[in-house]
Amino acid sequence: MFSYPVKELSVIVSTIIKQHINDAAWNWLQEKVVQNLPVAQFNAVFAMIPRKTGKSPVELTDIQRTEVQRLYPGLSFEGWSVDRLSRVWLLMNRDSTAEDQYVAAIENLFLAADMNELVALYSALPLLDYPSRWKARCAEGIRSNIGDVLTAIMCDNPYPAACLDEPAWNQLVMKAFFTDKPVDRIYRLDQRANAELAKILSDYAHERWAAGRRMNPQLWRCVAKFIDEKNFADIQRIGSSSDLLEREAAALACNDSHYPPAKEWLSRHAELKTAIDNRTLSWSTIAAGRAVTG
Amino acid sequence: MCCSHNITEKDIQPGRQDSSYLEKIKGMQFFDPHVHMTSRTTDDYQAMADAGVVALIEPAFWLGQPRTGVDTFRDYYSSLIGWERFRSSQFGIKHYCTIGLNSREANNEALAEQVMELLPLFIYKEGVVGVGEIGFDDQTAAEEKYYRLQLELAKEAGLPVQIHTPHRDKKRGTTRSMDIATEQGLDPYMVIVDHNNEETVKEVLDRGFWAAFTIYPFTKMGNERMAEIVKQYGTERIMVNSAADWGISDPLAVPKTAALMKAKGISDADIRMVTYQNAITAFGQSGQINEADFAAVKEIDQSRKFSGNTVLRGGQQPRIDKNSVIIQ
C-alpha cells in the first residue's frame, strides 16, 4: 500500500491549497477530489485544474514545511504553483483499491499530458500507491528532453532514490549533469553513489576535457568514494586546475575517499583541508558556486 | 536594398536572405494565428523571434499522408501541447494550439470515430485556444458529419472554431461552412474562417464571422493582394497568418506582410490590428490567452538558457552565430 501516511499528508496539502485559491475554486476542487470519479471525468478534472485554481506560487509556513519533511523525508513543494499541487492532491486521493484500474487511469494521464501536466504527474510519483509500479514510468521520464519535466523527476523528488534500480539511477544522475540541473537537489545523491556511476562520470569528464568544455565540479562528489588508481589522475588534474572551485572539489573528493594517495594529497593542501575541517568548505558551497578559500 | 527602394513582394520571397525589410517593422510585435511549427526547423523559430513574432497558434492538421491508427493522432495532439510548446518556448515564442480532426481524415470513418472519442481529452488542456482546423476539403458527407460533431464539441467547451476552407470550389465551400456553423447554433463571433481571398471575404465579414487570410506563395494569398484587402475592407475582424507547413511556405509571412503594408502606407495601428490584436481578441475568447505570458515566456526562457537549467545539452549556447564557420 502507500509508502507514507497518505491521510495525514493529504490534510496538510489541502490546507496549503486552500490558502492559495478562492472559495469557488476550493469548493469545486474539494468536491472533485473526494469523489472517485469515472475515468473520463477524472481526466477532464485533471486537465481543468489550472483554469479553476490559477497558477500562483505556493508558499509554505515553517510549520508546514517541517510537517511535510516529518511525514515524507525528501519531499518538497518549494517553487511549486498551486495548480501543480492541486493536481498532485487529486492523484493522492484517487481510490487505489483496484490496483490495475488505478494504475491504468494514471498511466493514461501520462499519455495525453501537456508539459505542466507531466511536471505534476512526475512530481506525484512518490505519492502514488503501489510504488514499484511506477519504475518504468520514472525511467521513461528521464528520457524526456523537456527541462521542467526532468527537473520535476530529478530535483526534490524522493521517488527515484527509493525505487530506481542502479542503471536507471545512474542514467538520472548522468543526465542531470548533462543537462546542467542543480544536482545538489537530487535526493540521496551521495548515498546512492556507486562504482559504475563513478566510472560513467569520469568518462564524461574526459569527454568534456577533450571538447574544451566546462563541467559541474559537483560531478566529483559522486566519484569521491570510488577514487582508485585508475581515476585518481582525474582528481589530481582538477586539483591543479586554475579554477579554484575545481581545486576545492578535488579536496572535498579526497576528504570523502579512503584511497591513501587521496588522503595524502589532501594533507599536502593544508588550506583546503582546514576549510573542510572547520566546515567553511562543503559540497553546498560548491553547489552555490561560491569559492571559499584562496 | 535601402530605404529609397520600395519593397515589393519579390523582395521578400521565402528563402531570400535579404532581411532589410526588418528595418521597417522594428519594434513591432506579431501573432501568427496559423502556423504548423511541427514541420519547421529551429532556424525558422529563430527567424520568427528575430522578426518580432511573440506568439503563435498551431492548428492540428493533416500531416501530408493519412494516419492509420488512433494512437498516432494521440501522439500528435500530445506533441502539440508538449514537445512543440517547449521547443517554441526555447525561442521565447508563446505557443498555443487548436485541436481537431481535419477534414481529409474525416473521410476514414472508422478512424474518425475513435478520434472523436479522443478529442475531449485534449480540448480542455491549457493553451488550447480552439477546435481546429476543421471544415471541408472534398465536401463529402463524412466531412460534414464530423464537422458538425466538432462544432457541437466546441460549443459545449466554449471554444472558438478555426475553419479550413477548401482549395477547390472555395466560394461555395466557404458559404456552406458558415451555413452549417449557424445551423449548429454557433455565434459567428466565435468562428474564424480561414484561407479567405478576394472572392470570399465580403460574405464572411457581412455575416459577422472572422476572416483570416493565409499568405502562402502560389496557392493562397500574396501579400500585395493582402494589403489591398486591408485598404478596401479596413481591419475589423481581419487577421493574417502564414499557415506555414511542410510545403513551400513562409513562416515569416506575417512580419513580411506587415512590412509590405507599411511600405504601402497602411498605419501602424491598422497593421497591429491585422497582424496581432484581432487574432488575440478572437482566440482569446477561449480564456486561454494572456498577453502577459508573451513576455513571461521570454524571461523564463532566457533565464533558463543562461542558468543552463533546462537547455537540452550541457553547455549549449542560446544563440548560434550562423556566419561563423567554426562550430563549437
pLDDT of residue B322 exceeding 70: no
Averaged pLDDT, A223-248: 96
Domain range for A288: 193-294
Predicted confidence band at B305 (pLDDT cuts at 50, 70, 90)? very low
Q: Which CATH architecture has domain B23-307?
A: Alpha-Beta Barrel (3.20)
Q: Which of B87, B99, B121, B304 to mutate to test the interface with A (most CBs of A within 10 A)?
A: B121
Last residue of a domain, one of A165, A183, A206: A165
**Are A40 and B81 in contact (CB < 8 Å)?**
no
Q: Is residue A176 one of the residues assigned to a domain?
A: no
Residues of B in Cβ contact (< 8 Å) with A214: 315
A window 9-38, beta carbon within 8 A of B? none
pLDDT of residue B311 exceeding 70: no
**Are A179 and B122 in contact (CB < 8 Å)?**
no
Element (H, E) at A27: helix A23-34
Q: Are residues A33 and A109 in the same domain?
A: yes
Alpha carbon of A131: minimum distance to chain B alpha carbons (Å): 26
**Are B124 and A48 in contact (CB < 8 Å)?**
yes
Q: Is residue A256 one of the residues assigned to a domain?
A: yes
Crossing angle of the two packed helices A195-211 and A232-239, in degrees rounded to 10: 50
Last residue of a domain, one of A165, A185, A211: A165
Q: Is residue A173 one of the residues assigned to a domain?
A: no
Predicted confidence band at B5 (pLDDT cuts at 50, 70, 90)? low
Q: Are residues A246 and A284 in the same domain?
A: yes
**Are A51 and B126 in contact (CB < 8 Å)?**
yes
Q: Are residues A109 and A34 in the same domain?
A: yes
Q: Are residues A132 and A201 in the same domain?
A: no
pLDDT digits (tens, 9 = 90+) for B130-167: 999 999 998 999 999 999 999 999 999 999 999 999 98
Q: Are residues A113 and A228 in the same domain?
A: no
Number of structural domains, chain A?
2
Cross-sheet strand order for the sheet of B238-241:
B30-32, B53-59, B94-99, B128-135, B161-164, B191-193, B210-214, B238-241
Averaged pLDDT, B292-306: 63
Averaged pLDDT, A200-206: 95
Residues of B in Cβ contact (< 8 Å) with A114: 78, 81-82, 85, 125-127
Q: Are residues A85 and A22 in the same domain?
A: yes
Q: Are residues A156 and A204 in the same domain?
A: no
pLDDT of residue B308 exceeding 70: no
Residues of A in Cβ contact (< 8 Å) with B289: none
Question: What are the residue boundaries of the structural domains of chain B, listed by start?
Answer: 23-307
pLDDT digits (tens, 9 = 90+) for B175-187: 999 999 999 999 9
pLDDT of residue B310: 41
pLDDT of residue B219: 74
Predicted confidence band at B317 (pLDDT cuts at 50, 70, 90)? very low
Q: Are residues A83 and A122 in the same domain?
A: yes
Count each helix (H run) and each strand (E run) in chain A, helices first.
Answer: 17, 0
Q: Which of B114, B124, B311 to mutate to test the interface with A (most CBs of A within 10 A)?
A: B124
A63 within 8 A of A12, measured Cβ to Cβ: no
pLDDT of residue B220 exceeding 90: no
Q: Is residue A259 one of the residues assigned to a domain?
A: yes
Rounded to whole angstroms, how far apart are CA atoms B251 and B255?
9
Whether A132 contacts chain B with CB within 8 A: no
pLDDT digits (tens, 9 = 90+) for A174-193: 999 999 999 999 999 999 99
DSSP B44-102: HHHHHHHTTEEEEEEE----SS---SHHHHHHHHHHHHTHHHHHHHTTT-EEEEEE---
**Are B121 and A213 in contact (CB < 8 Å)?**
no
Q: Which of B74, B78, B95 to mutate to test the interface with A (most CBs of A within 10 A)?
A: B78
pLDDT digits (tens, 9 = 90+) for A75-133: 999 999 999 999 999 999 999 999 999 999 999 999 999 999 999 999 999 999 999 99
Q: Which residue of A has its CA nearest to B118?
A: A112
